[in-house]
Structure 1
């Protein structure tokens, strides 16, 4: 038995045959060329064909996993149109007389090395993207056939890493799990596994070879452990755990349709977090009582231009109508930090997590902010929408944001456009500054929503995407919990409700702690709704 230890990106246990992921061989060897311009034309034709393929893949992926996950194919098209990338390849063909295949490969490796050398974990992960688009162009140049993805049926995929396009072309209904020797918890493979609920372990550090192909494997996504060719004792033990998990999911059905109320009668709103309207089916199927965080920035990602007012209005309207009167809290755009968009033309920053992002962009680009607020207000006529401003550190920011909102509403009044004049306005508490000043901030808004991910990052001074610091990162740190408790208490003193919409909201080990602090709402990923409701219903806060 071979036991591997990696990083868990999606919980659950899966058992099945291991299938090594095989890519077609591409030759990028250097060979002499006679006509550089003909070689440039050959590269441009391969690039155009690759862009066309990516557009087709995008359209298929939208139907399969929604726009948020499919956006990677739009990003890849943009990367193939990047002037620096294209010019580097063309100059190598013309100046160094390299054949197109070799020029693409040299550029791919140089760009990938550049991304890997960056401090930001998100940018480091982009190395996989530039290699992915380059492989596609190289395959076109070599005239090779694509990978036969249909060959992977009811297997656990094992690979060094899976490129975004490879992951999304797999028939995930037939994939039992993923195991990769490389990759990160921020990779597209990891994101897809979490979205679809497929057990996955990445970064095992062990490259697997043909001698294990077809052997039975167990992926324990809960502990990040992989067993290959397990002995009878291990197999039996893991089958029992798998059966237990299946029974557990069946047991959770008993709380579907019930109230999220403690034994002593305390009701807690259990809402869901989403990125766009494509996630609404998950919200409904998991019986969430509302939407506590609509990450509106996903409407801005994977595009070449800003979304129009009408595009945003239709997305917010659809969400409000689908939720049929249940509350929908929409966070204004939180671009910046790990969410980079080229057309925003943000200046490079040494520490983007503490730079120009979220409300800071909105207040320095008021016309961009006004467009989003107009769409939000107009959509509020079709349901129960609340607006929430992120990354607040002062009362001045809140007042300035509210002033712009009020000006937009006056404009809508003059135009005779309907909107909910009683729409709630809240803020994210995700900086220590906001938590410490929560007594003053509570006087300005209708609610607080605590973003525990960033609050933990900024309180502990640890980049939450820097995996090398995992040993130092403690989401249960007393300082973080004190700030959360202080925020809830200060909010209640001013008569406003307080929720939590970060990862800690789904941490069942802290549910009772949060309820005793007095939290009013918890917003979690859709699959976490029923386990959280069950936990709440088991508690008696009088004891």
Structure 2
């Protein structure tokens, strides 16, 4: 038996076989092709269709430039590769370069080579080639290279529209397993079947990483910072025990330890069953003060859990998850349908949608976010949204359209100044005017600000005047206040989310909100820490929002508090 110690990301006990997740191996196995010749033919057919699309685009653009167009183009229609040679320097260069990539360029050769060499589907070869080229060149600031990356992304999207995108689910096998990995991204975790995961163990990451937060949403024991040996075969198919309470892994446990943890797992289930008696109880302290307990969710799959555990509503819908694990932007209609379903499912209960907090570790290749030296301090959250106003307006429109079907609220992440709020409010006004002009029904909805930077705390009252409620994001507030990357495993022992400065800032936000008649909800992971439930109630926090699996433990702690005796 070997014992490994890490950091607990989510409590619980799991016993089962270890399965290593190696990204390349899993992805290739999942997309193996039975008939390589057929895949090459499929790719060639798709390539010719895209070349024709580009040719038509080129001809339309050329008509607008007749005064400067090459006379040779007015003759019989020509293949685009011929046009490339004749007309390489005019205003249609971008289309010509895209055609060149498909005609004889490195992209074409790489896709064909991957289909033949690795025997994978055409769609997978296109996706992987695109991702590898973007990863290789994304750190370069040369405008020519950036243009090439854009062109690769464009032709990939056109090809995948024809080939169809391969199923994104990552196949973990037939039986549920404990998944071990070097690290897991949000997108990868979202592509896995929750029913096949008993627990998660990672070398890297931290208890407050976004992947760990998603594991909590999935109600899966998770331990990070484990010293997994480099020769991973030593662990493959071994029996392991995850103790998510202490952050301990037991590899090939002896009979005595296994028997003990079988008993503890049963006791854990009994404790959970006991907590279920509270799912229909109110969020009321001993002396009768009501403090709402809401749910943090990342997808529609979490709605049923929120309702099952008796959440008062959704305090934080992390809408950026809708932008991850996919190949292109979600459209307005797709977002609208998701928000509409959420609103209808929750009925009269409040649903707060946080606008997309993209950037930092929440990225997708199609977003083409430039590489930053320090992404956690970079262009993320509301900054990115205001830089890409079309993206932001699309989401705001979808939220307002869906507001007609329930009780929605909207919250903005990473606000640091009133100038940012000026821009946000101008966009919201534009959207409302456009919807009115189009005769689209919507409701006036409550808005809020995510208080997660020291700057926001220091101008708390000024910001509170602009909105109906404040949400406290303790995860980012802690890392920005302590100047520590919350996902850096080297800082796990120094990263203290109970630091007096953090608690003082929470109290300052509550006071600032109440001074402007704003309700204040604690939304970060700290809200689920039952050691601080009494402290938060004493501060005057109006509501707590936690992952669904933590609702009942927090409710139990809340119902034991008597504020009058404090």
Q: Name the TM-score class by shorter chain.
A: 0.7 to 0.9
Alignment map for 1:43-58 (pairs within 5 Å): 45=40
Kindly indicate whether the alpha-carbon contact (under 8 Å) linking 2:276 and 2:309 is maintained by their aligned counterparts in 1. no
Kindly indicate whether the alpha-carbon contact (under 8 Å) linking 2:470 and 2:519 is maintained by their aligned counterparts in 1. yes
- Separation in 2, partners of 1:8, 1:487: 29
CA deviation digits over 1:273-300, x for unaligned, max 9? 1223232122222221100111222222
1:20 deviates by 6.2
Establish whether residue 409 from structure 1 lines up as the match of residue 432 from structure 2: yes
SS of residue matched to 2:403: helix
Once structures 1 and 2 are overlaid, which stretch shifts more, 270-279 or 503-512?
270-279
CA deviation digits over 1:257-316, x for unaligned, max 9? 111010011111111112232321222222211001112222222334332222221111
Establish whether residue 464 from structure 1 lines up as the match of residue 486 from structure 2: yes
Kindly indicate whether the alpha-carbon contact (under 8 Å) linking 1:42 and 1:100 is maintained by their aligned counterparts in 2. no
2:519 paired residue among 468, 480, 497: 497
Alignment map for 1:262-341 (pairs within 5 Å): 262-341=285-364
Kindly indicate whether the alpha-carbon contact (under 8 Å) linking 2:296 and 2:548 is maintained by their aligned counterparts in 1. yes
Which residue of 2 is the match for residue 451 of structure 1?
473
Kindly indicate whether the alpha-carbon contact (under 8 Å) linking 1:335 and 1:341 is maintained by their aligned counterparts in 2. no
1:523 deviates by 0.9
Alignment map for 1:71-470 (pairs within 5 Å): 87=106, 90=109, 100=117, 153=175, 173=195, 176-179=198-201, 182=203, 184-185=205-206, 194-202=216-224, 203-206=226-229, 217-231=240-254, 233-421=256-444, 423-470=445-492
1:519 deviates by 0.5
1:158 deviates by 6.4
- Separation in 1, partners of 2:350, 2:230: 48
Structure 2 residues not aligned, in runs of 5+: 26-35, 47-100, 120-124, 141-169
SS of residue matched to 2:404: helix
Distance 1:537 1:364, change over 3 A: same
CA deviation digits over 1:2-51, x for unaligned, max 9? 222234444212335x456699x99xxxxxxxxxxxxxx989849979x9
- Separation in 1, partners of 2:238, 2:369: 49
How big is the alpha-carbon RMSD for the aligned residues of Structure 1 and Structure 2? Answer: 4.2
Which residue of 2 is the match for residue 6 of structure 1?
6
Kindly indicate whether the alpha-carbon contact (under 8 Å) linking 1:289 and 1:326 is maintained by their aligned counterparts in 2. yes
Kindly indicate whether the alpha-carbon contact (under 8 Å) linking 2:11 and 2:221 is maintained by their aligned counterparts in 1. yes
Kindly indicate whether the alpha-carbon contact (under 8 Å) linking 1:291 and 1:523 is maintained by their aligned counterparts in 2. yes
Kindly indicate whether the alpha-carbon contact (under 8 Å) linking 1:157 and 1:178 is maintained by their aligned counterparts in 2. yes
SS of residue matched to 2:227: coil
What TM-score does the superposition give when structure 2 sets the normalisation length? 0.69
- Separation in 2, partners of 1:164, 1:431: 23
1:225 deviates by 1.4
SS of residue matched to 1:382: coil
What TM-score does the superposition give when structure 1 sets the normalisation length? 0.72
Instruction: Report the number of matched residues.
Output: 457
- Separation in 2, partners of 1:101, 1:114: 20
SS of residue matched to 2:410: strand
Once structures 1 and 2 are overlaid, which stretch shifts more, 441-450 or 338-347?
338-347
Structure 1 residues not aligned, in runs of 5+: 27-40, 52-82, 119-146
- Separation in 2, partners of 1:148, 1:440: 50
- Separation in 2, partners of 1:472, 1:534: 30
Distance 1:14 1:352, change over 3 A: closer
CA deviation digits over 1:459-518, x for unaligned, max 9? 111122222221221111111111111010111011110011111111111111111110
- Separation in 2, partners of 1:386, 1:331: 8
Which residue of 2 is the match for residue 474 of structure 1?
496
1:404 deviates by 2.1
Kindly indicate whether the alpha-carbon contact (under 8 Å) linking 1:8 and 1:221 is maintained by their aligned counterparts in 2. yes
Which residue of 1 is the match for residue 555 of structure 2?
533
